[in-house]
Structure 1
Amino acid sequence: MTTEQRDDSARNTVFGEVADLYDAVRRDYPAELVSEVLRYADPGDRGAVEIGAGTGKATVAFAERGVPIVCVEPDPRMAELLRRKTAGYPGVRIEQAGFESWERDGRTFGLLFAATAWHWVPEEVRWDLAYAALAPGGAVALFWNHHGVMDPEMHAGLAEIDARYELTFTPHTMAGWNMSDTIEPPDGDESVWSSQEALMRGRFTDLRDLRFKTPVHYPTKRYIDYLTSISAYRIMSAEARAAVQAEVAALLDAHGGGIEMVTRSDLLLARVV
């Protein structure tokens, strides 16, 4: 089945259509991850710049630790919610722009971080921009939340639905992971950075990969709300989105009214030479 989709040229700003829902259903990042970033980067009074801050799912966690942050966010609807959430943190400044068009005005930072947002910055410019934004010895921290479905039968059923609707990059892509070893390097990967090394060569060093895992249960309705916040579903027509979500809901209800998943938070760290 082929589903009608809107033009996804602005796919990185479709989340603003459901900014409040996005903020409510998206997973936070582990406190241990934030601690690892700050232990590695130690930005001090040089502060941090966050790329694609969204509604502040990561921003608040760093602001609570006293880190001054300049938040760069392209979508005005996400930025407005971010302003409300960070109103109590005087060290947070919000600047509405995409990273590639952001006016840095000569400022440099001790830390540049991006939470499930780095892939939206054009690959051909992002490392040049990151290098320019960092003070000597400054650090890059990139992290993502991935989901893995624990029940193999449910995973197969969801994959079948995805295939019928030609959906890719959904939370159903991966099966669940063993929960042993909460923090570890990526399994079997020489380095998650390997595909980026040519762009980073001579400018970044001390590359590190860390991984955190958290079990999570979604009741059916909350999971459908979560899917509504995913770009693969946002760019579908309303009719197609409703149809696929009805099928997913029926599958979850047939398996007890929810889904067991593991959230895998991957953290990539590097330092300016």
Structure 2
Amino acid sequence: MAVPREQRNVFGEVAEAYERSRADYPAALLDLITGYATGTPAEVVEVGAGTGKGSALLRRLGVPLTCVEPDPAMAALLARRFTDDDLVSVVVDRFEDWRPPPGGVDLLASAQAWHWVDHTRRTGLAAEALTPDGVLAIFGHEYGFADAELRAAMDAVYQRHAPEIADLPGRPVHTRHPGAFDPQELRTAPGFTDVTHERVVTVVPYDTARYLTLLSTFSPHRMLPEQQRVRLHDALADLVDSHGGVVEHELTTGLWLARRRGPAVAGGS
């Protein structure tokens, strides 16, 4: 009997495509993080580092960076990306199973991956991993459309070919995760205080080929039956080609920041 695919583990199937197509993070995020932290942290841990999109940004801090990534294929690409970089270490593990260094770290970050961490334990585990007054930084992209006409046409294609993932109108990324991040979770977590939300908006053009590659890296698309996914992507390709062969994504990069308060909270491990 075939083992069911787990949604959080499908990214390794397309690790190289993920690295090529996913958007980088704007440098402005780093300024917002260090400004909130009132300085450069001594050590950083990244949760769900993937192929290193967020890691590349965090590496610019110039301090030791530990990348925790559960998928072996993603972790292998990540390790190659930082070959011979003494400041970066890659740990193949789930954040739920990883153990932080004694005393914790100054900055715990997660780029587009926090929703995959057990939502019943993640804030407690984050508090355990941080020093007193350490900072949690959760950030990620929302891929909207700069062209309202194209957005409406995209919605119609999803409704026709994959209505089960067409629940977020106007967005090619349909992220229905049982552990989707709710800011109220941080605001009410006993281990954190000073919760802050920032946004950075940029427009990134994708030609048809890169756009389809991008879609192939999103888990709701990967979980579709192959024939259905092919039909959906063929219809989307025809649509993009008819609109000049370019999708202009309006990327809203959200950043949530919180400061650890008092003693670490038990993570339920």
1:67 to 60, 63, 70: 63
SS in 1 for 2:195: strand
Structure-2 residue corresponding to 1:156: 152
Inter-CA distance 169–161: structure 2 relative to 1 (3 Å threshold): closer
Report how far residue 260 of structure 1 moved: 1.7
1:1-273 paired onto structure 2 within 5 Å = 7=4, 10-41=6-37, 42-45=39-42, 47-104=43-100, 106=102, 108-164=104-160, 165-168=162-165, 173-174=170-171, 193-198=183-188, 200-201=189-190, 203-273=191-261
1:53/1:169 Cα in 2 relative to 1: closer, same or farther (>3 Å)?
A: farther
Counterpart secondary structure, 1:267: strand
| Kept after mapping to 1: 8 A contact 2:186/2:192 | no
Inter-partner Cα distance in structure 2 for 1:197 and 1:36:
19
**Mapped partners of 1:137, 1:159: distance in 2:** 44
* C-alpha spacing 1:49/1:220, structure 2 compared with 1 (3 Å): same
Question: Would you say how many aligned residue pairs link Structure 1 and Structure 2?
Answer: 248
Q: CA RMSD in A?
A: 2.0
Contact 2:186 2:258 in 1 (8 A): no
Give the structure 2 partner of residue 179 of structure 1. none
Q: CA deviation at 1:194?
A: 2.5
Cα distance in 1 for partners of 2:26, 2:11 equals: 22
Which runs of no fewer than 5 residues in structure 1 stay unpaired?
A: 1-5, 176-191
Per-residue CA deviations over 1:76-121 (Å, capped at 9, x if unaligned) read 0000000011124211111111111223353510000000000001
Over the matched positions of the two proteins, sequence identity in percent amounts to: 35
Matched with 1:187 is: none
Corresponding residue SS for 2:50: coil
Which residue type is aligned with residue 207 of structure 2?
P
Q: CA deviation at 1:170?
A: 8.2
Deviation at 1:137, TM superposition (A): 0.9
Q: How far off is 1:197 after superposition?
A: 2.7
In 1, distance between residues paired with 2:103 and 2:50?
Answer: 21
Change (3 A) 1:63 1:102: same
- The answer to whether the Cα contact below 8 Å between 1:49 and 1:69 also exists between their aligned partners in 2 is yes
Question: 1:53, 1:37 → 2: CA distance?
Answer: 17
Quote how far apart the aligned CAs of 1:264 are: 0.8
